[in-house]
Structure 1
Amino acid sequence: MTLLDIRRLRVTLPLDGTDRAVIHRVDLSVPAGAALGLVGESGSGKSLTARSVLRLLPPGARVDGDVLLDGASVPAMGPADLRALRSADVAMIHQDPRAHINPVRTVGDFLTEGLIARGTRAREATATVTGLLRDVGIPDAERRLRQRPPELSGGLLQRVMIAAALAGGPRLLLADEPTTALDVTTQAEVMAIIDEARAARGLALLFITHDLALAAAVCDRIAVMYAGSIVEELPADRLHKSARHPYTRALLASRPAPGADAHELRAIPGRPLSAYEAGAGCAFAPRCPAARALCRTESPEPRPVGDGLAACHYPAEPADDLDA
């Protein structure tokens, strides 16, 4: 059963007196209990896609297409349904917990506020969040509830954010680069906590990241985004062998290979485009070594290619060597 279904999503914002597209086209489906990784360079529209699910877009945003949660249209929801969506059905884990937790309130206040607002007694709410802190690997949970955010490390605060997301019993987690500000060891621990919580509670997950390897390790499918559009989607276990879009293949080829002989890392030529800069044709065409005349004039539609979908006029063959 599909829990989250994003259909031809397009978002425009007023910029310098002109409406500019910040998301051109996003089509995504996340079944109940499944995990989808959304990867791409900064400015590609990953976070705005996630925020569209909760209708947390900047003022003046215009949304075309649809975002469906369990068949219900999020853009069409009234205030009461939208509050229910945000408080119970969908939870978001942000990349910078210090920017999303009030520094002058205690951790306990932050975690119990939502539960108490929904009618849970204060003592029961405290017991619930204490158990959640233990579940996400925070020792001495009772003492941590009395502390304020500046007293906790970045890793502990991110665990608090995960506990806050789980407190409402959501069906869908939106994890927006939740490990960006953490060291490598803590990153692994935090992702293990998210993955364990997802499996234990049967949650769906939309995981936004720059790290292809990390997304492939924790997700069932991978969607690659560039300049406001999904350019490829395929099973995570087929990422390296079945990537067909030139951008996906360029990302894979630019990663260092453990155990390989030392050599200069390969960079993708040119610079990444923000979505509002994309013009006619394929947005990746200026950086694509395989681009032809059609690529510069006609935007490609997503279509079935091999094991997944690719928005490319001339998708590569899977047997091609990524290092060639």
Structure 2
Amino acid sequence: MSSELELLKQCITELEAENAELRKENTEICDLRFKLTVSNAEVAELKRRNAETLKSNAEYNKRRDAENAKLKARIEELEKNKEDSSAENVTSKEMISGYDQNTIDEIEPQSSVSLNTINLVSNVYEMTDVSDHALVSSDKSSEEKETVAFLNEEHKKRVSEEIRQRNREKKLQRKNEQANLVRPNSLAERNEERAVLPDIINLYETACGAEKKAIEANREETLRWQTQKALRIDDLFKKIGMDKLQYIKTYSADTISKFTDPQIQTIIDHFTEKPNMEFTDEAEDEEQDDKVPEGSDQNNVLEVLPPKESTTPIPLSHDSNSSGGSSKIGPVNSPKSQANVTSATS
């Protein structure tokens, strides 16, 4: 029994020790929990302060941006005022350049007159002072007092006018100096313009000469073409003969002028060999098959009628120097490119 009691006591002591350790650990856990809550509170407080600082920074940035915008607007206004002032200075310089030396010459005699009057007034004033000092009695007459007052007023007026005149002279002198600075630039520009004028005149003259030459060349070309056309037509008429023209029914000057030499020679040969025979399309085709391969589009240009007893000669109306597209043969001239000339029956 004693051994069991001792074992129980030993177990109890061990349990009490474990209980004490557990209590100690429990207290430590409570302390840790408390510290954790405190740290959580501190974290929340830090977060709140961080949010407040961010908000204050945003407000500060807004205020700073607004102030920067105001400063930029003010700077722009100052620059605009500066430009306006520079423009006003330019206009003032232009106005100053309008002043002549005559205005200064007119001002100089006025200033000399004012100086003379001032000298006279000062002399009178000195004379009055001397007379006043020379007087023994202190009492003055009323006339002397009036003259002294009048002279004092005149002196003040003259002095003020002199000051104004000097200020005017200084202003005019400054303006003339500025005008003298501006005038050389205008003279240089005028000299440049005068130097450019001869070049412009030369270019204009060369352009006019080239235009005239081009016009003359065009005239010569057209005249050469018209002359060649008329010579070709005259050559055909002369070789055929004037008495054979009564057989021609249709005639176009433009078409004849486009004939080649073999075609003209074919017509001439036909009328020389067979003057009273009809010049048909078949004969023309047979003669031109070997000579003129490209003349198929110019067939049926001339149609010749056989002679009749009742046929009377048709008068010739031909202008070799005409510039038109066709010349006609017949009793009536037609404005068309081709004219039909029929034989008149008696």
TM range (shorter): under 0.3
Instruction: Report 1 or 2 for greater relative contact order, CA contacts < 8 Å, sequence distance ≥ 6.
Output: 1
TM-score normalised to the size of structure 2?
Answer: 0.15
